[in-house]
Structure 1
């Protein structure tokens, strides 16, 4: 299965484009944002757990990254409400579930060999944030391979995106604007290495997930 698999091209998925499809597990469905492979795939998805859904225990040979968007997501390590960022390194395993239901943003099979960092970070904790000029930043993870953060920007503020190694954004709240085109909550954008774009926060500001640098080695 190939979905937005050409990393030399920009990819955008807005809420109007969300096509929820059932996963192999009853009660769990997903929007496939990009994907290379079938069930064992390099994939970026929105995943929705219905209440009392349980996914079978499984491993992550190339790692897993999760941002909880709504509800409560659970696995062997605990229960995580909206705003929690989880990073499970290559070789980890777990049995995910949700008692009340959950919506999560998930990235699979996208970590380099040798990465060993496990992250559990509550982004609703004010201590996790710091100010950089006009905007606020919550660092999630940083390495030579990628930089991951949440960012809050006030109305009209420019979004500083280093696209040298490619970049990926998910709108968590408010609107992101390019030219005259607004991208609301739930919009996802992937920018190829070297892309040129001008993004600003909408009238009510914007909160985004931002990952940069991770696409550098994916274009021949």
Structure 2
């Protein structure tokens, strides 16, 4: 299966374009944002857990990255309400579930084999944020191949002062402008090198999940 599989091209999915597809596990659905492969795929998705749904224990040979968007996501490590960021490195395994239901943003099989860090960050804790210009940043991960953070931007503030070498973002609050379009909450954008140079926060500001460095030049 190939969905937005050419990473040299821009890809944008707005909430009104969401197409929920059943997963192999009852009660779990997903919106496929990009995908290369079948069920065991390199994939970026928004996943929705119905209340009292769960997956059996399974491995993640290429790692797994999660941002909890709503509800509470759980596994053996604990319960993670909205705002928690998790990284499970290659070779890890878990048994995820949700008692109350949850929606999560997930990236699978996108880590190098040598990554070994487990990451757990509560992005709603004020101590995890610092001031940057007229906005704020919550660092999530910094590696040789990618940088991940949340950014909280003032109205009209530019995301970048220099041209990025590829960018991926999910709008969490407010809106983000690109060229003549405003992308509202829930919009996902993946833009190759130089395409993201002129991104800016909308008239009410914007908060985004932001990943750079992973798409190359």
Q: Deviation at 1:162?
A: 6.0
Q: Deviation at 1:196?
A: 5.1
Q: Which runs of at least 4 in structure 1 moved beyond 3 Å after TM superposition?
A: 161-165
2:38 aligned partner = 38
2:13 aligned partner = 13
Equivalent-residue separation in structure 2 for 1:103 and 1:131 (angstroms): 28
1:142 aligned partner = 142
2:29 aligned partner = 29
What SS does the aligned partner of 2:127 have? helix
Q: Deviation at 1:153?
A: 0.4
Equivalent-residue separation in structure 1 for 2:196 and 2:185 (angstroms): 22
Q: How does 1:1-150 map to 2 (within 5 A)?
A: 1-150=1-150
Deviations for 1:64-114, whole angstroms, at most 9, x for unmatched residues?
000000000000100000000000000000000000000000000000110
TM-score by length of 1: 0.95
* Structure 2 spans left out of the alignment, 5+ residues: none
Q: Any conservation in 2 of the 1:163–1:212 contact (CA below 8 Å)? A: no
1:187 aligned partner = 187
Deviations for 1:154-207, whole angstroms, at most 9, x for unmatched residues?
111111176654210000000101233110010000011343541111111100
- Count of aligned residue pairs for this structure pair: 217
TM-score by length of 2: 0.97
Q: Deviation at 1:115?
A: 0.3
* Structure 1 spans left out of the alignment, 5+ residues: none
What SS does the aligned partner of 1:159 have? coil
1:214 aligned partner = 214
How large is the RMSD of aligned CA atoms in angstroms? Answer: 1.3
Deviations for 1:40-61, whole angstroms, at most 9, x for unmatched residues?
0000000000000011110000
What SS does the aligned partner of 2:16 have? helix
